[in-house]
Structure 1
Amino acid sequence: MRLPEFPFLPKDFIETEEGLIFAVVSYHPHEHKVGCFLRYVNDQNGWHKVDTEQANRLLERHHPDYLYYSNQFDATFHAVPVDRIICHHRPEERLQILMHQPAEDPLQQKLHKLITILQRYQVDIDAMGLTGSMLINQQKSTSDIDLVIYGRDAFHQCRQAIQTAIADNQLQKLDKTQMQENYQRRASELDYASFSWHEYRKYNKAMIDGSKFDIGMVCLIDELDIEHRHFLKQGIKTIQCRVTDDSRAFDFPARYQVDNAVTPELISFTHTYVGQVVKGEFIEVCGALECDASGTCRIVVGSSREARGEYIKVVDQK
């Protein structure tokens, strides 16, 4: 699953000697650096989570060497040289450790119960990992359980398991309070009714005994496309189109093929719009127009984690 020469995958955490923990977001190195995003900072009060604005400001002021400009993507993002990493937190290893020891808090108890339920519906624990706060033992009673599923087939099997388990009342769909918190955290450009409608049908998040959990997919190496094209941003564009291929809707980044001749591909770098639309649906998209040297263009939604001013939404179903 991991390449010896570059063993880093999205959803991993990497830690530096300055007391910074980054979430890995890239499958491939960028000039011997790991593409990532700052998530946790250690100060006199211990570890605490930072949002996008806080993360960018902290790096700009104190650690500009962790900011990296990519010619390929015409964007600046966070990146850590491999030799600056003092600890590599791997989700699959963390899950195995926790599942083979007694639960130490209520959230770990719920994790044990959740994994048992998913296994009952034929989900393979060897294709799973644990990321988020539980990966670094920083969870609170109100924390989510963030699962990683490795490989497309395993991921969609897990989505189906969640849907069936909800129907069997083994798991619960997000209640209104949880969905509203999810909506506020994501800061989506959609109104609440539209946001929740799109979310409920994804089956990549649900609840167990009052706690929210979600699943995120990490592709296997042979499922990846190698991207060599260099794109330049051309401003913001809004289009309406029909989805022709949704097979990579839950990838990171999410990819959709559409019937627009100028911009036949949509990409989302924000989890808000992963799995957002289905093949055959007529949709509206607002995002950053990017073109390569050949004139091939695409629309990117999620130039920031919050994707302010950008969205993907269904206008008309099949």
Structure 2
Amino acid sequence: MRQTGFPFLPKDFIETEDGLIFAVVSYHSHDQKVGCFLRYVQDQHGWHKVDTEQANRLLERHHPEFLFYSSQFDAAFHAVPVNSIIHHHRPEQRLQQLLKQPADDPLQHKLHKLIAILQQYSVDITALGLTGSMLVNQQKATSDIDLVIYGRDTFHQCRSAIKKAIADNLLQKLDKTQMQENYQRRDSELDFDTFSWHEYRKCNKAMIDGSKFDIGMVCLKEELDIEHRHFLKQGIKTIQCRVTDDSRAFDFPARYRVDNALTPEIISFTHTYVGQVEKGEFIEVCGALECDASGTCRIVVGSTREARGEYIKVIEQK
């Protein structure tokens, strides 16, 4: 699953000796640096989670060497040299570690129960990992359980298992309070009812005994597209179009093919719009228009994690 020369995958965490933990967001090396975003900062009181704005401000002031501009993607993010990493937190190792030992807290009890439920529906748990706060043992009673699923087939099998387990009352749909919290955290441009409608049908998040969990996919090596084109941003654009291919809807980034000749591809770098639309649906998209040297263009939704002013929504179902 992991390449020996560059063993880093999205949803891994990497830690530096400066007391910084970054979430990996890229499959590939960027000049022997790992593409990532700062998520946790350590001080005398312990670890603290930071949002995008706080992370950028902190790095600008104290660690500008971790700020990175990609000419290929015409985007700024964070990048840590491989030789600056003191600990590589791997989701699949963390999950197996926790499953082999007695649960230390209520959230770990729920994790054990959740994995057992997924096994009931024939999910291959060797293809699963654990990311988020539990990956670095920073969970609270109110934390989510963030599962990583390696490979498309297992991911969709897991989505199906969640749907069946909800129907069998082993898991629960997000209640309105949880959905409101999800909505506020995502800071979506959609209104609450529209946001909720899209979220419920994805079957990539649910509740177990009052705690929210979600699943995120990481592609296997053979499932990846190698991107060699260089894109330049051309401003914000809004289009309406029909989805012609949703096979990569849950990838990172999510990719949708559409019937717009100028912008045949929609890409989302924010989890809010992963799995958002399905093949055959008529949709509206607002995002950053990008073009390569040949004039081929695409729309990118999620130029920041919060994707302010950008969205993807269904106008007409198939």
Residue equivalent to 2:24: 24
CA–CA separation in structure 1 for the residues paired with 2:48 and 2:178:
22
CA–CA separation in structure 2 for the residues paired with 1:118 and 1:76:
38
Q: Does 1:80 align with 2:80?
A: yes
CA–CA separation in structure 1 for the residues paired with 2:48 and 2:70:
28
Aligned ranges for residues 13-52 of structure 1 at < 5 Å? Answer: 13-52=13-52
Q: Deviations over 1:64-92 (max 9, x none)?
A: 00001111011111000000000000000
CA–CA separation in structure 2 for the residues paired with 1:197 and 1:75:
31
Question: What is the total number of aligned residue pairs between the two structures?
Answer: 318
CA–CA separation in structure 1 for the residues paired with 2:39 and 2:261:
38
Q: Deviations over 1:204-233 (max 9, x none)?
A: 000000000000000000000000000000
**Deviation of 1:264 (Å):** 0.1
**Deviation of 1:43 (Å):** 0.5
Q: 2:215 is aligned with what amino acid?
A: I
Residue equivalent to 2:106: 106
For structure 1, the 5+ residue unaligned runs are none
CA–CA separation in structure 2 for the residues paired with 1:196 and 1:78:
31
**Normalising by the residue count of structure 2, what TM-score does the alignment of the two structures yield?**
1.00
Q: Does 1:166 align with 2:166?
A: yes
Residue equivalent to 1:313: 313
Residue equivalent to 1:200: 200
SS in structure 2 opposite 1:165?
A: helix
CA–CA separation in structure 2 for the residues paired with 1:201 and 1:22:
30
Identity %: 85
Q: 1:183 is aligned with what amino acid?
A: Y
CA–CA separation in structure 1 for the residues paired with 2:21 and 2:305:
17
Aligned ranges for residues 1-318 of structure 1 at < 5 Å? Answer: 1-318=1-318
Q: 1:148 is aligned with what amino acid?
A: V
Q: Deviations over 1:33-69 (max 9, x none)?
A: 0000000000111001001110010001110000011
Q: 1:277 is aligned with what amino acid?
A: V
CA–CA separation in structure 2 for the residues paired with 1:222 and 1:17:
33
SS in structure 2 opposite 1:315?
A: strand
CA–CA separation in structure 1 for the residues paired with 2:177 and 2:76:
35
SS in structure 2 opposite 1:97?
A: helix
CA–CA separation in structure 2 for the residues paired with 1:75 and 1:95:
32
SS in structure 2 opposite 1:202?
A: coil
- Superposed CA RMSD in Å reads 0.3
CA–CA separation in structure 1 for the residues paired with 2:10 and 2:75:
18
CA–CA separation in structure 2 for the residues paired with 1:313 and 1:238:
11
CA–CA separation in structure 2 for the residues paired with 1:301 and 1:36:
18
CA–CA separation in structure 2 for the residues paired with 1:59 and 1:35:
14
Q: Deviations over 1:256-301 (max 9, x none)?
A: 0000000000000000000000000000000000000000000000
CA–CA separation in structure 1 for the residues paired with 2:283 and 2:82:
41
Q: 1:173 is aligned with what amino acid?
A: K
Q: Deviations over 1:133-182 (max 9, x none)?
A: 00000000000000000000000000000000000000000000000000
CA–CA separation in structure 2 for the residues paired with 1:151 and 1:224:
10
SS in structure 2 opposite 1:68?
A: strand
Q: Deviations over 1:100-149 (max 9, x none)?
A: 00000000000000000000000011000000000000000000000000
SS in structure 2 opposite 1:93?
A: helix
SS in structure 2 opposite 1:303?
A: coil
CA–CA separation in structure 1 for the residues paired with 2:304 and 2:44:
29
For structure 2, the 5+ residue unaligned runs are none
Q: Deviations over 1:236-262 (max 9, x none)?
A: 000000000000000000000000000
> Which consecutive aligned stretches of 4+ in structure 1 deviate over 2 angstroms post-superposition?
none
